[in-house]
Structure 1
Amino acid sequence: MPAKLEGKVATAPPRPSRTQPVAVSDLATTVDARLTAPDRAHVQVSGVTLRAQHVRPGDLFAALPGTRVHGADFAAQAVEHGAVAVLTDAEGAEKVRGVPVLVHPDPRAVLGRLAARVYGDPSTKLAVWGVTGTSGKTTTSYMIDSALRAAGRVTGLIGTVETRVAGDRLDSALTTPEAPDLQALLAVMVECGTTDVAMEVSSHALRLGRVGGVGFAVGAFTNLSQDHLDFHPDMEDYFRTKAELFDGRARTEVVCVDGEWGPRLVEDATVTVATTKPADWTATDVTVSATGEQAFTAHGPDGVTLDVRLSLPGDFNVANALLAIACLRSQGVDLDAIRAGLRDVQVPGRMQRVDEGQDFTAVVDYSHKPAAVALALDAVRARATGRVITVLGCGGDRDTAKRPLMGEEAARRSDVLVVTDDNPRSEDPASIRAAMLHGALAVPDDERGEVVEVGDRRRAIEHAVSLARTGDVVVVAGKGHETGQEVAGVVHPFSDVDALTDAIRGATR
């Protein structure tokens, strides 16, 4: 069994302690690749990576074409480190010496299947629960995981916030790991006795083949709204990519049909969920307490009902919970376990309350796209007795079109909006704030609150807290669970939760 994983950052992704080596000729057949050096078809492969610095003896190195360099430029380094074979395209094959090469016109598309073969097809030994959509992937995954643990299952979790393997935690670098890392991780989970894995499936993961070779017990869809239009040319392409999770790779498909996109995924066997229209699973009798906790009754097929208590506020979290319930019941999970899991679930950075005994509500949320900002602020507005004070920034090197939209949505829903920095990355922070301010200030004066600009995020949070009075709600949005802020290529330690906690403590001394 692998060593304890807790606290390790997956810079060198975990691998199983044992694999059954596979002949390179078998791998060529698996992915229909042309094998050079047929006299070396017997060479045995025991691992896969697409990073030369992570190669171990016996590995196959995946040399993928890139926008700036070709992975085959690092093949010599990979061979030096012990790679015994290379997967690449025809251009890359010309650069490889000394080892057999599997040549395929689209090596990225087959990398997942190849890695799954090397690591023993681990998803066939697990129940993998895949959740896709723009918002709600993390929360729904945590809900599924919590209920499965309440049912006595040994779970894994893969997503934006963290990766967990049978209770041990790793930090997440990508929402969905690259294909070889994902297959190795699933194999580690099998070794650790994991029975079920709740996994966020991003559009990048689907488009770039990261979940190739994964069989899903359940595929679930939350919703779709504007995001990642720096990666997708338009919303239709974004949707088509998300729809790939529903191409038959999941044995059961569960779809939220609120909104315009979900209904397009519905087939005869699809399990549907809705809070605004008829569906297989619906919710009634939704009540919200003064602290934001919710209760509702879920109604499912064959007259099944479930009374749910949920600590997470917002109508969207009723939809997320309903989606989780439908997924869980589709696989026969006990109603009592589902009830307990939803009651106890906690999601870092998602409508996360910071309570230092202050007389106003303070919330940290990961909302970093226009629709998510609107939903989060509508949720807190519904229970606020005072003003809504929002701190919000936008990330650099990402979809630029959403910046003015996020400023607009926040300005319409806030009594005070503090525009600040998020992760500027390589961009000028002031130009990002200017785009947000343009959208915010375009809202007519009588339809928005006060808008101020404080570039330094810590100072912006302190300013928002200094304005808060009894009954107000302070929302710090955009970064959620993140523990760093990337500025000019350097990641500085920064936590919205810690900064908000410090600001409240400082203001109440």
Structure 2
Amino acid sequence: MELQKLIQVLDAPVVTGNPQAEITGIQSDSRRIEPGFLFVAVRGTAVDGHTYIAGALEKGAVAVVCEEIPQGLNDKCIFVVVKDSAEALGKLLSAWYGNPSDKLVLVGVTGTNGKTTIATLLYQMFRKLGHKAGLISTVCNYVDGEAIPTEHTTPDPITLHALIARMVEAGCEYAFMEVSSHSIDQKRISGLSFNGGIFTNLTRDHLDYHKTVENYLKAKKKFFDDLPATAFALTNLDDKSGMVMLQNTAAKKLTYSLRTLADFKGKILESHFDGTELLINNREVSVHFVGRFNAYNLLAVYGAAITLGKTPEEVLVVLSTLHSVSGRFETIRSPKGYTAIVDYAHTPDALTNVLNGIHEVLDGNGRVITVVGCGGNRDKGKRPMMAREAVRLSDQVILTSDNPRFEEPDAIIQDMVAGLTSADMEKTLCITDREQAIKAAVKLAQKGDVILIAGKGHEDYQEVKGVKHHFDDREIVRNLFANQQA
């Protein structure tokens, strides 16, 4: 594609050199530059792409998009100077792929908890309703029925636009994606045209990156601020930040709630470990999900599907057939009459939600044994909070390792212990080895009890010193239960 045609999507760029140059690809990683490519120098959180411009040109880049031209480079180089190269990258990629997000219905889900469940259930629902659909999520990306492994909640812009282009090529009519606060702040979603946005909730998370809850909230809110008038914005009315998300959006404003009047109103009628009886807009439905937090997730799914033109009857029928996402309140039964639940809960609020969901079903019958850790090189402030919530809502707690990354697991556990009193420690064990911690919980459990193994959910690895070692909570539990007798 000709450079001049490509940069028409940018806001008043300053061009030095020949704008008629032919571009054969776009890249923001100088190591992946090939002859004929356009290199976009993005200022990241760890590195500044501007420092790699010379290297990109040496590898054959014919043009560079940047915020300032480095001194001492060849005058024959083609430079396109913009105010924000991260924003420009998304717009250029969208144009390069023929604006794929304009050719399907794209719905983004953002918030602290529930993103994966809501996006995945919408993807599953629309496929069950006979549509081709795509999914971009923490667990796995899908182009209709084709699974594509994922490493981030929201991929980098190049992967993201290529993925949506593949969806369009495969005939997908809809795409549902998790939108992380990082991706909003880093403008990874620049150039995408959203038809709708869903807000789940906002609690403490990612403060290692955002530094303050206010910055975290602003990042989420920006997603809704940028939605066009043709889109919809569906928010959780029961969350204290729910209406904040709608303050400045031009999109159609919609709400869902379990507590008060809303466009999509729900009520829990009955709970058990096999599912929940729900009332949604005065219609009853039985679902294979447990806990208030999942009731909120299902309300969001219902609301989005109705807003996208589906009838209440067909949506409720499909809702009744859907099952939990991998590693989200995933239930494994022991032959000895107790239950293990594996869940991704890795924030204080998510842990509280899952434990409350367990208590809603137990109703005082049976103990709760919680195995939990915290990830390394992440927000340290939530570690004592996680421990306190676990102890408050459990009969026995085992603090263990999660993904220590480049920190020492014992040091992370001590950060968690710092949030506990001497009385709390009387029902708390510290077992650094995660497999041994799970084994200890299984030995402690009796008929009618529930073991919650929190933090890793669908993950099948443990990250230690930059290396991912195979480790799957569900696999460990199933192997332990396989050797039991009733």
TM-score normalised per structure 2: 0.93
String of CA shifts for 1:340-379, please: whole Å, max 9, x gaps.
4322233011001123544111110000000100110111
1:433 matches 2:410? no
1:149 match: 127
1:412 matches 2:392? yes
**Contact map agreement 1:388 1:472 (CA 8 A) in 2:** yes
Count how many residue pairs are aligned between Structure 1 and Structure 2: 478
String of CA shifts for 1:386-430, please: whole Å, max 9, x gaps.
110111000011111000000000011111100000011111111
Q: Which amino acid aligns with 2:296?
A: A
1:206 match: 184
1:449-468 alignment runs, 5 A limit = 450-468=427-445
Q: How far apart in 2 are the matches of 1:189 and 1:96?
A: 40
1:116 matches 2:98? no
String of CA shifts for 1:213-267, please: whole Å, max 9, x gaps.
1111110000000001111121111111101121142511111111211022335
* 1:315 counterpart (268, 283, 292): 292
2:31 match: 53
Q: How far apart in 2 are the matches of 1:317 and 1:25?
A: 49
TM-score normalised per structure 1: 0.89
Q: Which amino acid aligns with 1:308?
A: V
String of CA shifts for 1:172-192, please: whole Å, max 9, x gaps.
111011122211111111111
Q: How far apart in 2 are the matches of 1:381 and 1:486?
A: 31
**Contact map agreement 2:198 2:233 (CA 8 A) in 1:** yes
The 1:502–1:98 alpha-carbon spacing in structure 2 relative to 1, beyond 3 Å, is: farther
**Contact map agreement 2:116 2:178 (CA 8 A) in 1:** yes
1:350-365 alignment runs, 5 A limit = 350-355=328-333, 357-365=335-343
The 1:102–1:410 alpha-carbon spacing in structure 2 relative to 1, beyond 3 Å, is: same
1:399 matches 2:379? yes
* 2:6 counterpart (21, 27, 33): 27
**Contact map agreement 1:426 1:487 (CA 8 A) in 2:** yes
1:130 match: 108
1:470 matches 2:447? yes
1:177 match: 155
**Contact map agreement 1:421 1:433 (CA 8 A) in 2:** yes
**Contact map agreement 2:335 2:484 (CA 8 A) in 1:** no
* 1:280 counterpart (259, 263, 276): 263
| Cα drift, residue 286 of structure 1 | 2.2
1:180-199 alignment runs, 5 A limit = 180-199=158-177
1:295 match: 277
* 1:484 counterpart (461, 465, 470): 461
The 1:152–1:336 alpha-carbon spacing in structure 2 relative to 1, beyond 3 Å, is: farther
**Contact map agreement 1:47 1:119 (CA 8 A) in 2:** no
Q: Which amino acid aligns with 2:376?
A: G
Q: Which amino acid aligns with 2:262?
A: A
Q: How far apart in 2 are the matches of 1:108 and 1:212?
A: 8
- Structure 1: any 5+ residue segments left out of the alignment? 1-20, 300-304
Q: Which amino acid aligns with 1:390?
A: T
RMSD, aligned α-carbons: 2.2
1:224 matches 2:202? yes
| Cα drift, residue 508 of structure 1 | 4.3
The 1:117–1:70 alpha-carbon spacing in structure 2 relative to 1, beyond 3 Å, is: same
Q: Which amino acid aligns with 2:315?
A: I
The 1:345–1:316 alpha-carbon spacing in structure 2 relative to 1, beyond 3 Å, is: same
1:326 matches 2:306? no
Three-state SS of the structure 2 residue aligned to 1:262 is coil
2:246 match: 266
Three-state SS of the structure 2 residue aligned to 1:65 is coil
2:80 match: 102
String of CA shifts for 1:29-67, please: whole Å, max 9, x gaps.
3213544443x2112334322223334554322222345
**Contact map agreement 1:108 1:208 (CA 8 A) in 2:** yes
Q: Which amino acid aligns with 1:424?
A: P
Q: How far apart in 1 are the matches of 2:65 and 2:21?
A: 14
**Contact map agreement 1:464 1:474 (CA 8 A) in 2:** yes
| Cα drift, residue 109 of structure 1 | 2.4
